[in-house]
Chain A
Amino acid sequence: MEESNNNFEPRIIAFVCNWCTYAGADLTGTSRIKYATNVEIVRFPCTGRIDFMLLLKAFAGGADGIIVSGCHPNDCHYTSGNFHARRRWIVFRNILNFLGIDVQRIRFSWVSAAEGAKWADIVNDTVKEIRELGPYTEYKKVANYLDEEADSHE
């Protein structure tokens, strides 16, 4: 956690939908496009299915950055899942920002199954950005409440 930003390797968790972004990321691979290896992908049936708590759990579990990505508006496999998701993120991002949680560390995007190159760009950009921001130490510290001397909380 104490690495200097130069050799700090960000840990990025990506929550993506099965039908667009996951397929897009597959295309990145089959197209042999090289991109940063810092991302761990979690596949969901739909962005509408991504509970906001999962994003918080990712940070608590040690993620330095998060990518949330799904089908472009009007392209949802289930017609409206991404519209629901978009609303949720508008509200959620706002409350996180008010609480002082670093919303710059969460990248929201639409990546279709045909956009293999865009996926690579998004991952590379995010890694670059998070590398500049450094590890999300302040959140990890709060998440490790029980590790600290319990009596110091009083």
Chain B
Amino acid sequence: MNKLQERATDLLKGGTVKLIIGFEQGNNKIRPFFCEKPEDAEKLIYSDDCSTNNAVYLTKKELIGDNKIAIIATYKEIASIIQLNKENQIKKENLMVLTVDKDGDVTELTSFEEMEKFCEENTPAPDPVVAALIEKIDKMNREERWAYWKSELDKCIRCYACRAACPLCYCNRCISEVNCPQWLDPWKSTLSNIEWQINRVMHMSGRCTGCGACAKACPLDLPIGILTKKMSTDIKEMLGEGEGGNVLSTFNPNDKENFIH
């Protein structure tokens, strides 16, 4: 057993936590794993190769209830936990955040200051594929951009995997489910597919941590991750570096724009 598995066994045996959310080897890919019994701890692995962001489970009451749980976290999970905490979605006293360094040593991040520090020190390099695609689209003229997105989003089957995989899409009732008024047509159509993505991005503005789980969840591999990514970058540019969090629930009287006359 490695150090992570030993620590997990101890935590579960001693009853410190009821559940550990971590990773296990799935069928040719790493997948989330819910470890409840000490004897299952040997299945736990540490990897930042999991396409899922496991922070998504922290807002699911049916899974965690009021129990004390531990999460084995990579940069993605920690960045999301910080944002979830800002939005009052985390009960810190019920959550233990564990990370594993390259030597396999397990560290508990006990405060949000430590988590912020972890994120500063471990920020992953930007994905060159994403950056290249954003650049390519930025260079297109408007008609080309419209044609590109129309053809990509036309394929969407509205399975809402992008919503389900996002740790910050935790609304009890999503705008896509509101039917009085019916903001979005609930069936697959090019327009409502586009409108759905606009809504997703608007509601994510400033909140998105850029983990890319939405794009990785898409069964059709649609380039939806670059929408939130582009938005995060542009918000910093348009509203200033200091702006973070839910930028749309606040304002600055000195916000600059060049299109309101």
Contacts and interface: CB of A to CB of B under 8 A. Distances in A.
B143 interface: yes
A87 B259 contact: no
A138 interface: yes
Contact of A90 (B138, B183, B257): B257
Interface in B217-242: 227, 230-231, 234-235, 238-239
Contacts of B137: 98
A90 B238 contact: yes
Contacts of A84: 248, 251
B183 A53 contact: yes
B76 to A, nearest CB: 23
Contacts of A96: 198
Interface residues of B, number: 43
Contact of A53 (B140, B199, B255): B199
Interface stretch (B3-11, B90-98, B147-155): B147-155
A39 to B, nearest CB: 16
A100 B261 contact: no
Interface stretch (A10-18, A22-30, A140-148): A140-148
Contacts of A97: 142
Interface in A89-119: 89-103, 107-110
A5 interface: no
B205 interface: yes
A84 B247 CA distance: 10
B238 A91 contact: yes
Contact of B149 (A74, A90, A92, A100): A100
A153 B251 CA distance: 42
A146 B125 CA distance: 43
A53 B182 CA distance: 11
A99 B202 contact: no
Given A84-B251, A108-B260, A99 B191 contact: no
B238 A94 contact: yes
Nearest to A101: B146
B184 to A, nearest CB: 8
Given A94-B234, A98-B137, A100-B144, A87 B260 contact: no
A-B pairs with lowest CB-CB distance, top 8:
A100-B146, A100-B145, A83-B251, A145-B189, A108-B260, A142-B190, A142-B191, A99-B149
Interface of A: 52-53, 56, 60, 73-74, 80, 83-84, 86-103, 107-110, 122, 138, 142-143, 145-146, 153
Given A91-B205, A99-B194, A142-B194, 5 more contacts: A83-B251, A89-B257, A91-B248, A93-B259, A109-B260
Interface of B: 137-138, 140, 142-150, 154, 183, 189-191, 194-195, 197-199, 201-202, 205, 227, 230-231, 234-235, 238-239, 247-248, 250-253, 255, 257, 259-261
